[in-house]
């Protein structure tokens, strides 16, 4: 009984269950209402009183020797977490999936959402002591516009001009209306950095974030110290933040159990239940928009033939992969990137099923299918296992898939968007426009299938400006259908975020837009 009560108190304190659920469970255990109320109050008070101090040590499943501090080059979860540690953005996604102010204290769409006015927060200082102003915002955005390979370039092609109206107001003029531009403007690549002479120094590691950079070894280690002048009250509780790149899942779990680190991301799902049973360790899980994919380069034979793409889409048993790779920590995908949690998810779009006969039909139309599939654990946990299962599924349709086991280090720079077909993960995005503009718009920097569809691109522009929600829903439905039936990506599953920590780490309500509380664990969590 006492152990069960302690477990429930920890869950309430960490924000994993509500007060109502806590009370109901205690009463099921036979605890008196008054006693349950007292326990709930204790737990909530504990949650509401974070403590400052300590070094947070984190094992991250990403990181490469090719990583840089330039926001235009961020391409994996390790750099995303560093980004949020040292830098801020105009807005941030909260635990409900909504956009809330960060460096901008407010914003206002005008002129049918073709004009966006952002009012900057006053009194914010960079780590070098410079005060935030409009010039910093303009220079930070321009870093991702023009001649650049930044993934944010495609998002900002809709921006016709940026101008300042005083030191703390920035005005964006768009080529067309966009009701979701506040999300676009807060893309994690578009970190706001200090400017000088209209330019930023992209690799200086200086930002306004909760931790100031002390050292950075690409693919190895990051160390930051608490920013004592951080503008957010009640954020950034650790004195120091250390993040280690530990790509191997077994090594990552071992680092947690031996006390080398306090937190790990991407728990090995095969052993998650065993890890959670270890004394002093807790495994947590959030749902969001993360999905695992197998993108094909549609500009490269044989993937330029939609018959090949359809053959491969019908040749995978999604249910088995969710069962044997995700171990139930997710749901099947339908060959498009819009998650069930997205506002315009096409729930009524027929779910594609494993069908060897259909796969064989399309393969025959293509004159046979014999392809190579690149995979590594760096792509997503269990990527190699998923690829192996895929090969077995496809063989039943007469399709030959050769698995190429790629090195983890350098996977994102040497394999992704380079090899014709590979494994990949996407964190997804809270809005349809943000996701589609990033990875599916023709010519987008991160269009990893190199796919272009005129009808899709036309709908993309129309939908972002449409104010009638029913019409907007219809457009996004059609876009999901187009990607599903004509696109170059196999999306077999949406995966939950599963991470683990020692019981001395605690937090409030978790956000699910990225891993580990929206990748902001370092500013939102603390040591009990």
Residue range 103-160, pLDDT digits in tens: 999 999 999 999 999 999 999 999 999 999 999 999 999 999 999 999 999 999 999 9
Q: 58 has which bridge partners?
A: 243, 263
**Is residue 415 a contact partner of residue 376, using CB atoms and an 8 Å limit?**
yes
pLDDT value of position 23: 65
Q: What is the CATH code for 291-495? A: 3.10.105.10
Euclidean distance between CA atoms 82 and 210, whole angstroms: 11
Euclidean distance between CA atoms 10 and 267, whole angstroms: 20
For residue 358, what are its two tokens? 């259909």
Euclidean distance between CA atoms 152 and 143, whole angstroms: 10
Model confidence at 525, in pLDDT bands (50, 70, 90)? very high
**Is residue 245 a contact partner of residue 221, using CB atoms and an 8 Å limit?**
yes
Percent of the chain with pLDDT over 90: 88
Which residue has tokens 């779910």?
Answer: 351
Model confidence at 9, in pLDDT bands (50, 70, 90)? low
Residue range 172-212, pLDDT digits in tens: 999 999 999 999 999 999 999 999 999 999 999 999 999 99
* Mean pLDDT value of segment 384-413: 97
Q: Is the pLDDT of residue 48 over 80?
A: no
Q: What is the CATH code for 55-62+209-283+513-527? A: 3.40.190.10
Euclidean distance between CA atoms 89 and 523, whole angstroms: 14
Q: Is the pLDDT of residue 27 over 90?
A: no
**Domain spans of the chain?**
2-47, 55-62+209-283+513-527, 88-200, 291-495
For residue 305, what are its two tokens? 């033939």
Model confidence at 36, in pLDDT bands (50, 70, 90)? low
pLDDT value of position 39: 52
For the whole model, what pTM was predicted? 0.85
- Give the largest CA-CA distance in the chain: 73
How far apart, in Å, are the Cα atoms of 508 and each of 44, 52, 283, 450, 505? 10, 15, 15, 40, 11
Q: Which residue has the higher pLDDT, 15 or 49?
A: 49
Q: What is the CATH code for 88-200? A: 3.90.76.10
Q: 330 has which bridge partners?
A: 495
Q: Considering the chain, what is the average pLDDT of its residues?
A: 93
Q: 212 has which bridge partners?
A: 225
pLDDT value of position 467: 87
Q: Is the pLDDT of residue 47 over 80?
A: no
* Mean pLDDT value of segment 511-524: 95
Q: Is the pLDDT of residue 81 over 60?
A: yes
């Amino acid at each position: 009984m006492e152990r069960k009560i302690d477990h429930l108190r920890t869950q309430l304190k960490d924000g994993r269950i509500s007060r109502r659920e806590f009370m109901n469970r205690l009463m099921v255990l036979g605890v008196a209402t008054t006693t349950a109320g007292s326990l709930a109050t204790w737990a909530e008070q504990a949650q509401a009183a974070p403590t400052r101090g300590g070094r947070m040590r984190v094992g991250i499943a990403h990181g490469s020797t090719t990583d840089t501090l330039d926001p235009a080059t961020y391409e994996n979860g390790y750099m995303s977490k560093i980004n949020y540690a040292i830098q801020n953005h105009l807005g941030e996604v909260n635990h409900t999936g909504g956009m809330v102010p960060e460096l901008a204290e407010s914003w206002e769409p005008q002129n049918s959402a073709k004009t966006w006015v952002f009012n900057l927060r006053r009194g914010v200082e960079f780590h070098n002591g410079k005060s935030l102003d409009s010039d910093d915002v303009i220079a930070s955005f321009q870093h991702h516009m023009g001649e650049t390979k930044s993934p944010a370039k495609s998002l900002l092609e809709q921006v016709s001009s940026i101008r300042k109206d005083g030191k703390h107001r920035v005005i964006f003029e768009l080529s067309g209306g966009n009701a979701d531009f506040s999300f676009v403007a807060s893309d994690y690549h578009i970190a706001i950095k200090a400017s000088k002479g209209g330019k930023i120094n992209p690799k200086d590691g200086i930002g306004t974030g909760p931790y100031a950079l002390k050292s950075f070894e690409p693919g190895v280690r990051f160390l930051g110290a608490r920013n004592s002048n951080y503008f957010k009250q009640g954020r950034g509780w650790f004195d120091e933040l250390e993040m280690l790149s530990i790509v191997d899942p077994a090594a990552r779990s071992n680092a947690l159990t031996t006390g080398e680190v306090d937190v790990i991301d991407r728990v090995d799902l095969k052993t998650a239940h065993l890890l959670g049973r270890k004394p002093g360790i807790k495994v947590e899980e959030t749902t969001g928009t993360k999905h695992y994919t197998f993108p094909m380069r549609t500009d490269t034979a044989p993937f330029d033939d939609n018959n090949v793409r359809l053959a491969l889409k019908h040749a995978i048993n999604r249910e088995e992969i969710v069962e044997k790779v995700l171990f139930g920590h997710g749901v099947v995908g339908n060959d498009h990137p819009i998650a069930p949690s997205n506002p315009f998810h096409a729930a009524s779009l027929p779910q594609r099923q494993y069908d060897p006969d259909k796969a064989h039909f399309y393969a025959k139309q293509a004159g046979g299918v014999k392809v190579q599939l690149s995979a590594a654990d760096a792509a997503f946990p269990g990527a190699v296992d998923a690829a192996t299962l895929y090969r077995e599924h496809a063989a039943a349709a007469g399709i030959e898939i050769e698995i190429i086991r790629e090195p983890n280090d350098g996977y994102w720079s040497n394999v992704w968007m380079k090899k014709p077909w590979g494994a990949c993960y996407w964190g997804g995005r809270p809005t349809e426009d943000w996701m589609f503009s990033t990875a599916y718009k023709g010519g987008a920097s991160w269009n990893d299938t190199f796919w272009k569809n005129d009808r899709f691109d036309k709908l993309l522009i129309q939908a972002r400006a449409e104010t009638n929600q029913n019409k907007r829903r219809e457009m996004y439905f059609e876009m999901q259908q187009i990607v599903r039936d004509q696109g170059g990506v196999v999306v077999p599953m949406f995966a939950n975020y599963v991470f683990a920590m020692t019981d001395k780490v605690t937090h409030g309500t978790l956000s699910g837009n990225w891993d580990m509380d929206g990748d902001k664990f370092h500013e939102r969590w603390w040591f009990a």
